[in-house]
Structure 1
Amino acid sequence: MEVFEAVADPVRREILLALGGGTLSAGEIAGRFAISRPAVSRHLRVLRESGLVRDEASGRRRLYRLVPDGLEPLRSWLSDLTPSTASPWSARLDALETEVRRTRRDRRRSEPPAADPPRADPPASATDHPAPTKETA
């Protein structure tokens, strides 16, 4: 059965959502619905045949888990419907980078030109006051 047909049923979509939280036994899945266990079993079979879930025996229980790769046909189809497949963070990070660059540029423009670095102690000149000596003190 095709993935699109499998997810067309609301009960199967709910089962997928439940399995998105982790592995569940058939009994745990059936306990979530007000339908018979055989009906849940049929839904699980459809999901398994469409490649959306896998099952394994664990003693007397059958455990089911979601197969995320099985949803790829849906992802692909949905991405064709949306204008951009970029992450919502991608646009935000690009805007942040632009703002950082603009701020740096504005700071460089507003800073006064760099002055000559201060020189070390200027050489003593004759006009400077001489240091006191023992005789003048």
Structure 2
Amino acid sequence: MGTTKTEAFTEADLTLATYAKALAHPARVAILRILLERNSCICGDIVEELPLSQSTVSQHLKELKEAGLIKGDIDGKKVCYCIDAEAWKHAQLLMQQIFASYTLCGTSCC
């Protein structure tokens, strides 16, 4: 496969793609829902909420953290996770912009 030529895309499009990729797995969506419902940092309880192993949940948390949607702080032996409010607002704005840019084309579309 060829190179992705990321320099040909806007920073906003690259960021939106990063957020979309992070949201592209139901386990990561479930993790985000848990964090949003609790509205606080969670240390270790996430595994108990999902039908997945510790290592699988850790991998999904890593993906969400790398995308910037969550933050993780070390508290002793545990890592506490919460929503990154600034990134969350940015993701929300980018998603709203792309969805709002669509206008119904009537019956002449495909």
Mapping for residues 1-137 of structure 1, pairs under 5 Å: 2-20=18-36, 21=38, 22-25=40-43, 27-71=44-88, 72-82=90-100
Q: Structure 2-normalised TM-score?
A: 0.66
Structure 2 CA distance for aligned equivalents of residues 73 and 23 of structure 1:
20
Structural RMSD (CA): 1.8
What runs of 5+ residues in structure 1 fail to find an aligned partner? 84-137
Larger radius of gyration: 1
Identity %: 24
Deviation of the 1:70 alpha carbon = 1.6
Deviation of the 1:2 alpha carbon = 1.0
> Structure 1 or 2: larger helix share?
2
Distance 1:52 1:67, change over 3 A: same
Structure 2 CA distance for aligned equivalents of residues 74 and 44 of structure 1:
19
Deviation of the 1:61 alpha carbon = 1.4
| Corresponding letter in the other structure for 1:8 | A
Structure 2 CA distance for aligned equivalents of residues 8 and 31 of structure 1:
22
Q: Which residue of 2 aligns with 1:110?
A: none
Tell me if structure 2 keeps the 8 A contact 1:4–1:74: no
Deviation of the 1:19 alpha carbon = 1.1
